[in-house]
Amino acid sequence: MQFFEKNVVEVLMREQQCAGEPARAANLSRRGALGRLAGWGGVAGLGGASALLAGCGGGDGGMAESPAALESAAQVADTAASAEAAALPAARVVRAGLNHPWGLDFLGDGSLLVTERAGRLRRISADGSSMSSISGLPPRIFVGGQGGLLDVIVEHLGGDTWVYLSYTERGTGPQYNTAGLAVARARLVAGALRDLAVIFRASPKVAVSNMSNYGGRMALAGTKLFVSLGDHFTDAERIRAQWLGAHHGKIVRINRNGSVPADNPFVGQPGALPEIWSRGHRNPQGLTFNPFTGELWSSEHGPQGGDEINVIERGQNYGWPRISYGCEYGTTVGACTVVGGKRELTGMEQPQTWWVPTSIAPSGISFYDGAMFPEWRGNLFVAALKDTSLWRLTLSGRKVVSRSALYRGLGRRMRHVRQAPDGALLVLTDEDNGRILRIAR
């Protein structure tokens, strides 16, 4: 029993590391880990420490192809980064001292709004020399595990500056010990948020002890706001990613005031939540529009291997957990069966690219359309947590033709990447002493 408990703790710690939560993994108690197993449906493959020490890798021993064959099937080869790294511009620290920064957007004067997962919204000057806190944040922000204050979007509209915030919200009354993703919208006036309204709440909320796979990234296109939501990790919760009656594992689409667009795909369908735009996602933490095509792209954490980049289309099913390229945590890299037992099924979408047998833990993503780096125009950048790198994906239409991991030598867990108005790239690092890095010529 003692050996079993030790392995359970290590599996749950591995989940937090793969999802980008080393601090939580380090603090996970044996009792807490065993408690998390309630409703998990059992832990497969806990028989040996060697399987656990394999990291976030996934294997395919239970299927026909090897991991190497899978990468060939993806029709993309990872580029050796050494030659490219030698020519990369330096990543300069603009600001340090941020507590796990998560989201970033730009104000009209060039300054930044940056969220800290611990529940603070910072305004930082463009050169990083000054920082202040914004007041008037939503009430009941639940901070724990992967939850807290997450993404931020700025919208300039009719002379006002509107701010959208995604965050995990604690329940009230008999639901006090539950939490779920919420989105609030407010006007920014000087150093405070005014006229705040909660425009979206995920349903149903989950126990606060879950603390995993909230999603939380947002993307705004005209009057429509898209929000990603995770599956909440356990077997009992993740199956709801396929259910139209729950927001688990979905990307939702709402109007900027929180109302539901009449042309959403499941409006009027009995039992379906009308906000749903797509389903079958695990934990999408990247969401952005391709400025050249208008398509919505996402990044998604796989389990042990199987991280994905997807093009998100109206009403489509992306398969999780019925199909996947990743394996259950704790199974042996190179000798495991993918989650769901299949990689594809009729009526379910395939990713544009994926990572096997190990995970990079992709978070924020951004297309480059600036002038500072003309050689990067049209490329998709992916911030990676576990892989401590910034991935550059070269595309031909939707096809990913090459991938390279940049700035891995910095050893920084990268949470988000955004293109600045002048064409530089800004990267947030996910640390207790988080940084804003500026990549510029």
Taking only the tens place, the pLDDT of each residue in 198-219 is: 999 999 999 999 999 999 999 9
Asked if the model's pLDDT at residue 196 lies above 90, the reply is: yes
> Is the peptide bond between 321 and the residue preceding it cis, with omega within 30 degrees of 0?
yes
Mean pLDDT value of segment 77-103: 84
pLDDT of residue 83: 59
pLDDT of residue 25: 47
Domain boundaries, given as residue ranges, for the chain = 2-439
Q: Cβ(287)–Cβ(218) under 8 Å?
A: yes
Mean pLDDT of the chain: 87
pLDDT value of position 115: 99
Summarize the confidence of residues 315-329 as an average pLDDT.
98
Omega of the bond leading into 351 within 30 degrees of 0 (cis): no
Q: Given this model, what pLDDT does residue 22 score?
A: 46
pLDDT of residue 152: 99
Q: pLDDT per residue over 216-236, tens digit each?
A: 999 999 999 999 999 999 999
Query: Is the model's pLDDT at 40 over the cut of 50?
Result: no
Average pLDDT of the residues in 106-120:
97
DSSP 102-156: EEEEE-TTS-EEEEETTTEEEEE-TTSS-EEEPB-PPS-B--BTTBSEEEEEEEE
Q: Yes or no: say if 92 and 86 are a contact pair by the CB < 8 Å rule.
A: no
| pLDDT, greater one: 54 or 74 | 74
Residue 51's pLDDT is 35
CATH architecture, domain 2-439: 6 Propeller (2.120)
pLDDT of residue 18: 52
- Beta strand pairing call for 77-79 and 399-406: parallel
Query: Which of 27-31, 81-85, 300-304 holds the top average pLDDT?
Result: 300-304
At residue 70, the pLDDT reads 40
What is the reported pLDDT for 281? 98
**pTM, entire model:** 0.86
Which of 18-27, 133-142, 169-178, 221-230 is predicted least confidently?
18-27
